[in-house]
Amino acid sequence: MSPDTPLVVAAKVDNALRLSAIDRKAARLGLEEGMPLANARAMLPALTVMQANEPADRQLLERIADWCDRFTPFVALHLPDTLLLDVTGVPHLFGGEKALTEQAVNGLTRQGFTVRAAIAGTIPAARALAWYGHGTIVPLGGEAAAMAPLPVEALDLDAAVVQAFHRAGLKTVGQVAGRGRAELTARFRKEMVFALDHALGRAEKPISARRPLPDYRAECRFPEPVATHDTILATLKSLAQRLASLLEENGQGMRRLEAAFFRADGAVRRIAVETGHPLRQAEVVERLFREKLDALDDPLDPGFGYDLIRLSVSRAERAASETAGFDADLNAEREIRFLVDRLAARFGSHRVLSFQPNDTHIPEAAWIDVPAQYARPSPLPWKPVREAGEAPRRPLRFFAAPERVDVLSVGADGVPLKFRWRRVVHAARHVEGPERIAMEWWRHQTAQPTRDYFRVEDENGRRFWLYRDGIRRETAEPRWFMQGVFA
């Protein structure tokens, strides 16, 4: 591709290829966005055409939005090419609105993007002024005056509405705003009137942020980018101490924390850890992030360093005071909770499980496994299934799903004498049973078979727990399954 050849991007719109983006050379030669590709090729046969890739464009816009999180966590997408930042109460942190705008524009320009920006009190006004008045900063309540000289295209309305405005001789936003609301509503419907009032600051419409706003957050900006592992962890500990002070004032603790690392080249990396109970200890937070960073499949790459590190509490809970009895060992309980949090940070909360009793007599459902970080004391007690000194009635190892067994011979009372399991034939030496367990009929629409369980010991001393599908004994050959093994 020659550098002197105009470049355009074509997208399919209403079953026709149209120009969705053009470079400066194409614009100087008379091409416009929205023009049919066939017309553009007729005007410029030597034209380089690229196919539009909307998913890739959105991914790029998401990456730019991540970088813009350094200015405010309230960032929203306005596809296909616009970002909306709610900077209410933020400019003084960057030296004013003008300094904030310059810092954002210069930062994105250094990354190779062409940027236009403006600050206004409404979304349509800010977007329109970014396109038609780059760098404009509208004072509070001045949206109507700032929008008045702009062309009606700045309102981002349907092409048919814009064309109707031109036929009526209304070429600027001020001319449209000067007409009566009843007249505009009758001609262009109330949606257009609302869009006009919104742009002029007479109506409000909230922004839907792309990320939920955190409950608490603290950040540290560096005059020179930092890259060392120890500095990163020390910064997280310092930020955790600041957050702990705020949480203590409100009687809350951290349950989920997210650390955001803003690299100098614009890349952003986010890492989250969770805790089983509300906490405020900065040392514990540092240790959890250390475990998380050490266990990452994709290690944290500082590149040229981080110029901003932010720690956010995305979920906070009420931290109740612990009351200890004379025989309570709170330190042991804290150590166990801390161990669970460390293991969850390293391996994932779905891999650190706690077993709790379940209110059912079905063997494989007698307990449930829940992430240990979210486990709470169960109101159900564990029920003993054997007396003191009695042999185990339930196997030590349960299978996730019962496995099919081929019973080769049975005794006169139906007990298995020889069976094949996993291609190995076992001869029974001792058999105990049956123990009949009926299924929970109220949980199913169709009748479920009862089960007759047998404890079987083979000639080599191995003990198994088998059951027979009881409902089919009279109609067909019974089916046998292996539920578990005792040793």
Residue 369 covered by a domain: no
Residue 60 covered by a domain: no
Nearest-angstrom CA–CA distance, 465 and 467: 7
Residues 192 and 115 in one domain: yes
Residues 243 and 313 in one domain: yes
Predicted confidence band of residue 473 (pLDDT cuts 50, 70, 90): very low
Residues 79 and 195 in one domain: yes
pLDDT exceeds cutoff 80 at 476: no
Residue pLDDT, tens place only, 251-286: 999 999 999 999 988 889 999 999 988 999 999 999
Residues 80 and 186 in one domain: yes
**Predicted local distance difference test score (pLDDT) of residue 211:** 87
Of the three residues 303, 335, 367, the one that is the final residue of a domain is 335
pLDDT exceeds cutoff 70 at 329: no
Q: Which of 466, 467, 470 is nearest to 486 (CA)?
A: 466
Of the three residues 335, 356, 374, the one that is the final residue of a domain is 335
Residue pLDDT, tens place only, 445-468: 777 788 899 999 999 999 999 999
SS3 letters across the chain: CCCCCCEEEEEEECCEEEEEEECHHHHHCCCCCCCEHHHHHHHCCCCEEEECCHHHHHHHHHHHHHHHCCCCCCEEEECCCEEEECCCCCHHHHCCHHHHHHHHHHHHHHCCCCCCCCECCCHHHHHHHHHHCCCCECCCCCHHHHHCCCEHHHHCCCHHHHHHHHHCCCCEHHHHHCCCHHHHHHHHHHHHHHHHHHHCCCCCCCCCCCCCCCCEEEEEEEEEEECCHHHHHHHHHHHHHHHHHHHHHCCEEEEEEEEEEEECCCCEEEEEEEEEEEECCHHHHHHHHHHHHHCCCCCCCCCCCEEEEEEEEEEEEECCCCCCCCCCCHHHHHHHHHHHHHHHHHHCHHHCEEEEECCCCCHHHCEEEEECCCCCCCCCCCCCCCCCCCCCCCCCEEEEEEEEEEEEEECCCCCEEEEEECCEEEEEEEEEEEEEECCCHHHCCCCCCCEEEEEEEECCCCEEEEEEEHHHCCCCCCCEEEEEECC
Cis amide prior to 434 (ω within 30 degrees) = yes
Residue pLDDT, tens place only, 381-391: 887 777 777 77
Residue 351 covered by a domain: no
**Predicted local distance difference test score (pLDDT) of residue 200:** 87
pLDDT exceeds cutoff 50 at 332: yes
Residue pLDDT, tens place only, 67-97: 999 998 889 998 888 999 999 888 998 999 9
**Predicted local distance difference test score (pLDDT) of residue 1:** 57
Residues 301 and 183 in one domain: no
Residue 459 covered by a domain: yes
Residue 119 covered by a domain: yes
Mean confidence (pLDDT) of the chain = 87
**Predicted local distance difference test score (pLDDT) of residue 181:** 83
Residues 79 and 190 in one domain: yes
Range of the domain at 293: 216-335
**Predicted local distance difference test score (pLDDT) of residue 366:** 81
**Overall number of domains in the chain:** 4
Of the three residues 335, 358, 373, the one that is the final residue of a domain is 335
**Predicted local distance difference test score (pLDDT) of residue 258:** 95
Nearest-angstrom CA–CA distance, 480 and 478: 7
Residues 140 and 169 in one domain: yes
**Predicted local distance difference test score (pLDDT) of residue 448:** 77
pLDDT exceeds cutoff 80 at 426: yes
**Pairing mode, if any, of strands 75-78 and 82-85?**
antiparallel
CATH classification of the domain holding 331: 3.30.1490.100
Which whole number is the average pLDDT over 288-316? 91
Nearest-angstrom CA–CA distance, 204 and 237: 40
Residue 344 covered by a domain: no
pLDDT exceeds cutoff 70 at 2: no
Residues 191 and 275 in one domain: no
- Of 261 and 324, which is predicted with more confidence? 261
**Position 169: which residue type?**
G
Residue pLDDT, tens place only, 197-208: 888 888 887 788
Residues 243 and 326 in one domain: yes
Predicted confidence band of residue 23 (pLDDT cuts 50, 70, 90): confident
Residues 35 and 117 in one domain: no
**Predicted local distance difference test score (pLDDT) of residue 393:** 81
Residue 236 covered by a domain: yes
Residue pLDDT, tens place only, 352-365: 998 888 888 888 88
Residues 259 and 325 in one domain: yes
Residue 280 covered by a domain: yes
CATH classification of the domain holding 46: 3.40.1170.60
Residues 193 and 221 in one domain: no
Which whole number is the average pLDDT over 340-352? 91
